[in-house]
A = this chain, B = another copy of it.
Amino acid sequence: MKIGRQDDPKSAISTSNEETILVRGRDLTSELIGKISFTDHFWLLLTGAYPSAVQRRVLDATLVAIAEHGLVPSVQVARMTLAAAPEALQGAVAAGILGCGSVILGAAEAAGRFLAAILERARGGELEAGASTVIEEHRAARRAIAGYGHPLHKSSDPRVKALLQVAREAGCAGRHIEVAQLVERLVPRLIGKPLAMNVSGAIAAVLLDAGFPLLALKGVPLLARTASLIAHLLEEQQRPIGFTLTNAGAAAIEYDGPVPPGFTPSND
């Protein structure tokens, strides 16, 4: 059964024979292992080229920024899953990263598309007019403005300032950061309330200015959070809290369905 396009059955990422493994055309053992950092390797895998010093610095900064933020859904999910199924660490990591979604953690790509749409709209014209149009279209379609607003860091997300400063120091701050800050200024008037740029918006802006591929933006929170999940799962093996999280969650929810006469729910 032939499904979908199948006219170009090719891949340019890796090939090998018994003696040699090539990754993006480089000999893995003589050119890469021990010679480049993991961050360099991630950039090489994605693009086929080594990052510049600027690109490496910006990518490291975004990966560090989004890796860890306490007992968020992805972390609790991973720890509960390991408690239930300790035989499969990979299952606990997979469960955790399934929470890298459009609402939490995974908004970098949507934020990047939003910034790119404004630049596309403004092409050859006025940036502010382009931004206003795109924001108003989102508002009309009741779509969230990806990359803005945070439940805890309401007035300003501290990671945003740090990321923008890295981009400025590295000398790669460009049009995407300009648009991202413009949107922050326009939002109060166009949406009716302030929405501070959040870490996903800043990740998208600085990485796009550094030349990172738009279609891989979601890979940054995915890779970063994987590192954090592994740390939480190491701690879970040594100081388990997975079932404590479950119990606390269950205790916070009231059953409001029907009960037969005389039934009393357990206190546990």
Q: Which residues of A contact B (CB under 8 A)?
A: 1-6, 8-25, 27-30, 32-34, 36-39, 41-42, 45-46, 48, 57, 59-61, 63-65, 67-74, 76-77, 80-81, 83-95, 97-106, 109, 151-155, 158-159, 161-163, 165-166, 169, 213, 215-216, 218-219, 222-224, 226-228, 230-235, 237-260, 263-266, 268
Contact = CB atoms under 8 A, between A and B. Distances in A.
B98 A18 contact: no
22 contacts: A8-B239, A8-B241, A14-B257, A16-B70, A29-B158, A34-B57, A38-B227, A76-B245, A76-B249, A81-B101, A85-B104, A88-B98, A88-B101, A89-B109, A91-B98, A93-B219, A97-B97, A216-B231, A216-B234, A222-B230, A246-B249, A248-B248
A163 B18 CA distance: 17
Contacts of A17: 263-266
Given A1-B16, A37-B64, A72-B250, 12 more contacts: A3-B151, A4-B151, A4-B243, A6-B241, A10-B255, A11-B255, A37-B60, A46-B234, A85-B101, A89-B218, A89-B219, A93-B219
B248 A10 contact: no
Contacts of A21: 68-70, 158-159
B36 A60 contact: yes
Contacts of A234: 46, 213, 215-216, 219
Given A34-B61, A90-B97, A80 B69 contact: no
A124 to B, nearest CB: 25
A135 B187 CA distance: 34
Complex copy number for this chain? 4
A33 B98 contact: no
Contact of A243 (B6, B16, B219, B263): B6
A248 B251 contact: yes
B72 A85 contact: no
Nearest to A220: B230
A15 B95 contact: no
Contacts of A263: 17, 20, 22
Given A1-B152, A46-B231, A67 B85 contact: no
B93 A95 contact: no
Contacts of A257: 11-15, 22, 24-25, 48
